[in-house]
Amino acid sequence: MNPPLPLDLRDRDGLFDALGARLFDLAVIGGGITGAGVARDAAMRGLSVVLVEARDFASGTSSRSSKMIHGGLRYLAQGDLALVREAASERKIVQAIAPYLARETPFVIPARNAGSIAKLRAGLWTFEKLGGVLKSRKHEVWSLADLQAHEPTLKTDDLAGAVVYPEYLTDDARLTLANIRSAAASGAVVANYASAEAIIAGGGGGTGIDVIDTLPGSHGRRARLTAKVVVNAAGPWVDAVRMLEDGGAAPRLNLAKGIHLVVAHDRLPITRTIIFPASDRRSVFAVPRGAMTYIGTTDTLYPDPDVWPAVTDDDVDYLLTATTKHFLISPLTRADIVSVWSGVRPLVREAGKSTSDTSRRDEVWLGPGGVLSIAGGKLTAYRKMAQRVVDQAETMLRRKPSACRTADEPLVGGDAAPPGAGDNPAVEARYAVLDEGALTLEDYWVRRSGRAWFDLDGGLAALDIAAKTMAPLLGWSTARTVEEIEGCRARRNNLMAAVRGRRGTV
Ligand SMILES: Cc1cc2nc3c(=O)[nH]c(=O)nc-3n(C[C@H](O)[C@H](O)[C@H](O)COP(=O)(O)OP(=O)(O)OC[C@H]3O[C@@H](n4cnc5c(N)ncnc54)[C@H](O)[C@@H]3O)c2cc1C
């Protein structure tokens, strides 16, 4: 097992020197789950690896997912057996290497009649067979009385029972961080707030990447790193990075936005994840998480990559209306919303298909400058995606193929709660800086602690104490400390303004 080395990224001069100091075997652009998985796998195989992330690790889609490590039952309906097989078996691996980051939870799919139950069961049998699901983890059928007893807030007038099967819930940002830390513990150089701005196609000395420091107050620090193989794992920004390699590259992604709403658990007091239909018959879900329940998600075409994709009235209405329709609760209103997050799926374009129908499979393309771009895929299958990319990179490096070990070794920090977990922002913030590479208050508030989404006040009460803890560690002046706090408050105000009070109908 890799020792859980602290990930302390405060020495920016030293880090930027390290970026330019040698010819790396592999450079990864993008520190979401895809890039983090690639870096971990490659470093564990003994390649010299560098990863650069333009903002914070997991600040893109990998902190905005539905936070499920799931088998993708719905892809059975699309006939995508390979995808389901891979997701179902990868679930088990993530659970084995990071038990703290994959909590088993029952998913409940209510059904209207015996025919629907039979259809669901047929799907689940296939799913269980494809995924090699253990007998003890196979689905069960609930009668109407069972359903009413177990989930009394669900409206059951037109239901006949439910099918229940286990999936896993994760913390997407922390899963990404665990991979980043694990890569670093295996020798990878990893840098957040380090944006790839130019790609200089490879000559004999490898491909060059011009990297600039995007951390506030960094005064344009930059480095040119060189690597024999470059992997573009920039998620929704994959096309933008492809353009750095080839200015005429045609776009290959479609972006699909999804939002999630968080309400207090006592407003939607469920004990398991429940799936139910929205007005357009798409499946949506409600997930209990501690003192909160979150509801998701939408699936709408979104024009451009965006770190904070806009949340619209329609997005909010869609989820509130569906939830109110299916639960015995007083109607959920905008005033009930505790927080909201929104992200975009980087889907590989398929002509004539809606975003919901587009396959979630990943694809890898080799660009004219020798850059490997990977797009599509799921959080759940990140490890296998990484394995395929690193296998290909080894071929390009003319290296003897080596064994992938990422399924066997535990993930750093994936086996236990982070120290300080238990409502202590000072302890958490200190750990975030010294062990988890946090460099801004937002890094702590949104991605290391998740308080922005799951505290009743959106984590506002934790900001002052966390900022005061971080300030001496990161050399912040009083003015900078205030800016960090105000920046998070403004972010929260913007998000909440988008969901509250504009129409006030639902
Ligand atoms: C609403 C929603 C719900 C989802 N739910 C689930 C789910 O429950 N389960 C599941 O398995 N999957 C889910 N997914 C899919 C999953 O979240 C994504 O497949 C995955 O997070 C994509 O990760 P990524 O690393 O490819 O992209 P990202 O996480 O976006 O990472 C790309 C990174 O590249 C960085 N970058 C961009 N340009 C540059 C540059 N020039 N230099 C350096 N860095 C750069 C970005 O800052 C970003 O951090 C969901 C997705 C969405 C949107």
- The confidence score (pLDDT) of residue 88 equals 87
> Ligand 1: does its nearest atom lie under 6 Å from the Cβ of 128?
no
Distance 345 CA to ligand 1 centre (A): 7
Residue type for 364, please? V
- The confidence score (pLDDT) of residue 213 equals 98
* CA-proximal residue: ligand 1, atom 1 (nearest): 258
Q: Which pLDDT tens digits describe the chain residue by residue (506 residues)?
A: 445 679 999 999 999 999 999 999 999 999 999 999 999 999 999 999 999 999 999 999 999 999 999 987 877 777 788 888 888 889 999 999 999 999 999 999 999 999 999 999 998 998 899 888 899 999 999 999 999 999 999 999 999 999 999 999 999 999 999 999 999 999 999 999 999 999 998 766 899 999 999 999 898 899 999 999 999 999 999 999 999 999 999 999 999 999 999 999 999 999 999 999 999 999 999 999 999 999 999 999 999 999 999 999 999 999 999 999 999 999 999 999 999 999 999 999 987 888 878 878 899 999 999 999 999 999 999 999 999 999 999 999 999 999 999 999 999 888 887 777 788 999 999 999 999 999 999 999 999 999 999 999 999 999 999 999 999 999 999 999 999 999 999 999 999 999 986 554 44
DSSP annotation of 154 reads: B
Burial class (CB in 10 A: 0-12, 13-18, 19+), 60: buried
Closest by CA to 268, choosing from 349, 152, 410, is 152
Atom of ligand 1 nearest to the CA of 376: 19
Distance 262 CA to ligand 1 centre (A): 20
Residues 6 or more apart whose CB falls under 8 angstroms from that of 488 comprise 441, 442, 445, 452, 460, 463
Q: Residue 199's Cα: distance from chain center in Å?
A: 26
H helical segments located in 98-197: 114-131, 144-150, 172-185
Atom of ligand 1 nearest to the CA of 30: 34
Residue 409: phi, psi to the nearest 5? -100, 135
Distance 370 CA to ligand 1 centre (A): 23
> Ligand 1: does its nearest atom lie under 6 Å from the Cβ of 34?
yes
> Ligand 1: does its nearest atom lie under 6 Å from the Cβ of 61?
yes
Burial class (CB in 10 A: 0-12, 13-18, 19+), 203: exposed
Distance 112 CA to ligand 1 centre (A): 35
What does the alpha-carbon distance between residue 171 and residue 287 come to, in Å, rounded to a whole number? 13
Burial class (CB in 10 A: 0-12, 13-18, 19+), 411: buried
Answering whether pTM is above 0.85, one says yes
CB atoms closer than 10 angstroms to residue 317: 15
- Give the CA count within 13 Å in the CB-facing half-sphere of 133: 23
Mutate to test the pocket of ligand 1, among 237, 308, 365 (most ligand atoms within 8 A of CB): 237
> Ligand 1: does its nearest atom lie under 6 Å from the Cβ of 380?
yes
> Ligand 1: does its nearest atom lie under 6 Å from the Cβ of 131?
no
Q: How far is CA 320 from CA 28, 323, 392, 414, in A?
A: 39, 5, 45, 34
H helical segments located in 32-170: 33-44, 74-77, 81-97, 114-131, 144-150
Distance 34 CA to ligand 1 centre (A): 7
What does the alpha-carbon distance between residue 123 and residue 129 come to, in Å, rounded to a whole number? 10
Closest by CA to 19, choosing from 185, 304, 210, 171, is 210
> Ligand 1: does its nearest atom lie under 6 Å from the Cβ of 342?
no
Residues 6 or more apart whose CB falls under 8 angstroms from that of 493 comprise none
Distance 125 CA to ligand 1 centre (A): 31
Rounding to the nearest 10 degrees, give the CA dihedral for residues 376, 380, 381, 385.
Answer: 60
> Ligand 1: does its nearest atom lie under 6 Å from the Cβ of 72?
no
> Ligand 1: does its nearest atom lie under 6 Å from the Cβ of 199?
no
Q: Which residue has the tokens 């007038």?
A: 157
Distance 383 CA to ligand 1 centre (A): 14
Distance 62 CA to ligand 1 centre (A): 4
Atom of ligand 1 nearest to the CA of 87: 11
* CA-proximal residue: ligand 1, atom 27 (nearest): 235
Q: Which residue has the tokens 């506030």?
A: 216
Q: Is 60 helix (H, G, I), strand (E, B) or coil?
A: coil
* CA-proximal residue: ligand 1, atom 35 (nearest): 30
Q: Residue 5's Cα: distance from chain center in Å?
A: 23
- Give the CA count within 13 Å in the CB-facing half-sphere of 8: 11
Q: Are 95 and 172 in contact (CB under 8 A)?
A: no
Q: Which residue has the tokens 């602690």?
A: 449
CB atoms closer than 10 angstroms to residue 48: 17
* CA-proximal residue: ligand 1, atom 10 (nearest): 379
Strands 189-191 and 49-52: parallel
What does the alpha-carbon distance between residue 308 and residue 326 come to, in Å, rounded to a whole number? 30
Distance 177 CA to ligand 1 centre (A): 13
> Domains (ranges, CATH) in the chain?
12-62+173-252+357-396 (3.50.50.60), 255-346 (3.30.9.10), 425-499 (no CATH)
Token pair for 215 = 């951390």
Atom of ligand 1 nearest to the CA of 381: 11
Q: Is 42 helix (H, G, I), strand (E, B) or coil?
A: helix
Residue 192: phi, psi to the nearest 5? -95, 170
Distance 32 CA to ligand 1 centre (A): 5
* CA-proximal residue: ligand 1, atom 14 (nearest): 65
**127-133 — which CB contacts under 8 Å span 24+ positions?**
127/71, 127/73, 127/76, 127/84, 127/88, 128/88, 130/81, 130/84, 130/85, 130/88, 131/71, 131/84, 131/85, 131/87, 131/88, 131/89, 131/91, 131/92, 132/88, 132/89, 132/92, 133/88
What does the alpha-carbon distance between residue 310 and residue 305 come to, in Å, rounded to a whole number? 11
Atom of ligand 1 nearest to the CA of 195: 42
> Ligand 1: does its nearest atom lie under 6 Å from the Cβ of 179?
no
Atom of ligand 1 nearest to the CA of 307: 47
> Ligand 1: does its nearest atom lie under 6 Å from the Cβ of 254?
no
- The confidence score (pLDDT) of residue 2 equals 45
Residue type for 274, please? I
